Structure 1
Amino acid sequence: DISLEKHYQQDIDAVKLVKSALKEDRLVPFFQPIIKSNAEVTYECLARIITNEGDIITPNFFIEGIKKTRYYAELTKVMIRKAFDVFEGTPTSFSLNLSYEDISNEKIISYLKKLIHSKKMAQNLILEIVESESIDNFELIKHFIDEMKALGVRIALDDFGSGYSNFSYLMELKPDFIKIDGSLIREIDTNEKSYVIAKTIANFSKELNIDVIAEFIHSQAVYDKAKELDINGFQGYFLGEPVQHITKD
């Protein structure tokens, strides 16, 4: 099967890429601004690999290929460490993405907690749980969220509305933020159905005192329409691309 063979080759390439990037310290966080409606700016930390030639490689080229390897946890830990280093001593809030694989890995979580305590940065930190709607071990996620909130860390659920949006799930998990999935926001200015779904999510979240962020703001028209949702924050290439260096307050 050629497609299977190609898939294996992609995984092998991904492992090679990440292994050498970790060894040579070429895994770096890039930062994309999230513009809050109160004019505050927070940053989402995104993994990038810089090749020896200076090219920038995004995770969609390597993350799936390394999920079943030890390099996955190593990559997460490097991202956590580097993000903490960048924002230490600043008042700026920053968010880190965590997957189910990360949350269920005790070594990663104990490392994260150690840094939160030693650097006293709980109030700066937002943890974004990615692909949360596809997670079946609800108890683990709930326990993790409760534990982090007890430390003073804020929690965001990413990609809300991508699958079957489970509102009862939102009531149970009580995140501080949700991010409306980019597939809805991307065409919010042209697709009435997308707008209605996004508005429903925004209204429901507001009732629960959950802040709402719209991602994938890629044009003025989308930004204008997203503002009509009466939400708390906006993110997308139109407002700011991910960059390697930010000017800190």
Structure 2
Amino acid sequence: MMRNATPLKPLDRPRRTRAVIERWKRERERWMAALEPTTLFQRLFDHIPGVYFFAKNRDGHLMFASEGLRQRYSMRDETEILGMTDFDLNPGSMAQAYVDDDKRILDGKARIVERIELWWDRQGMPDWFLVTKLPLYDKRRRAQGVMGILRRPDEAERRLPVFQTVAQAVEIIRREFSKPLLIEDVAKSCGQSLRQLQRRFQSAFGITPQEFLIRTRVLEATKLLEQTALSASEIATQCGFVDQSSFSQHFRKRIGVSPGAYRKRSAGDR
């Protein structure tokens, strides 16, 4: 039993003048300028389990990435990830979504806080994360990059109706994408109307379930183009596209090149 326990409370503090506050702001700037940039606060994220940190410049090149994030891409140290872009690390359709988000932040059109995202590694393994992104400013308050953290949602968050509905829909799409899948049927399987599912999906991912279905098909197509000798027509059929023309159209729109050009580029990288 604790004896003589005194409850702690904040000390009474006199109100500081604006001059004192401005002096300490100048002192903070002087102190920050004297620090070695690579030993700043981002190193703390190496020691927070399940939380990953990154910072990119205006052109999307990674300047910092915490140890946990580097490990997801099988990289030993920061020299391997420094200067890489989302397109160097992720499937094209996913990378483009991240880049689009960054551009909206840099243009002052959005601030992304705690949005659910499904991240893939090079092996195509999905994992759920809550992603927070904020702009990085220079001393003249001009956006010079984007910083962010990723964290896995806890059990309480995973039980939220929005999360459960979206997660269930994602699992159905990932399992059935190669079939002639209708989003109306996905919504019905989740006990939702089409409008409800679209609204919750948009809130979670920033895209519609229809777009997620197409991106899932395109992602699978990139893997087949890289790893097999299947023709474009065969890949279109295996990935659930109605025909080769539709496959090529959706692939080019999200990856930026035709399936044939992507295959040649991938073969040249090996």
Q: Same fold (TM over 0.5)?
A: no
Q: TM-score, normalised by structure 2?
A: 0.29
Give the number of the structure with larger relative contact order, counting CA–CA contacts within 8 Å between residues 6 or more apart: 1
Higher helix share: 2
Q: TM-score, normalised by structure 1?
A: 0.31
Higher strand share: 1
